[in-house]
Amino acid sequence: MTNHHPVEVLDVHHLHLVETTRPQLTAEQTAAMDRRWEEVTAANPDFFDGPVVVCAGLDWKDPHTLVLTWYRAAYRLYVLRRDPAQAVKAPSVFVTVAQPTDDGRLVVGRMASSTAAPGRWQLPGGSMEPPADETPLDLNALRRHAARELAEEVGRTVPEQDMELWAVTRGDKGNIGVHFRAPVCPAAVIDRLHAAVSAADRAAGRTPELDRIAFISSDAEVEGLGGRSVDFLPVLAARHAANDQRRI
């Protein structure tokens, strides 16, 4: 039986990002967005209405070069995607890090209760933010963001130039994931680093974004994590397992 995954892995060797103008919302859409934002922040005051990168479209320049058109928006736009009457398409752009261990496993983390997806298992990473100055949004910017997410969530510092573009995915709602692969690190070291960064967060009055980490070897182990997982995790876990077998 063939498993169906709502996630497509795009064969991307080169990625170009091009900024465009944000589409205008109607007065009704803006009112619905603000109303729903008040509702979600009342339920979870930790939500932050920060700047995000939204995918406006994809185009192939050649068989392996993907052009991603994007625009700037505030995080609250995402709540409008779920409005039954005023919904808009606003695919997110996010980065993750595949952190392999020296025994062939992959680091995954469980999102804390204060996050937008409490209890969900995923790779370290997060939504992409647009540059605040004249710095271009390009693959290097995504690479830097991925390295920062790994340091903040897991505690491991990796030079951005060591982040290898590993995969680009498109989910069934159009969300675009740009996934990087970090150099191998022993699982025991990852455990210590995550424990240290989590303790530092709590000492500073912050809730760690990943309240637990675990190590998996393949997509078959995703279900055993317990709870739900992000849609791309089984696909990338299978990719990791296939890559690991090829290195043996």
Give average pLDDT by consecutive 10-residue segment, the chain, 248 residues.
Answer: 69 96 96 96 88 97 96 96 94 98 97 87 96 89 97 97 97 95 98 97 93 96 93 96 64
Query: Looking at the domain covering 8-247, what would its CATH class be?
Result: alpha beta
| pLDDT reported for residue 2 | 38
Q: Is the dihedral of CA 36, 8, 59, 65 positive or negative?
A: positive
* Closest-CA residue to 98 (of 127, 122, 128, 131): 122
> Which pTM does this prediction carry?
0.93
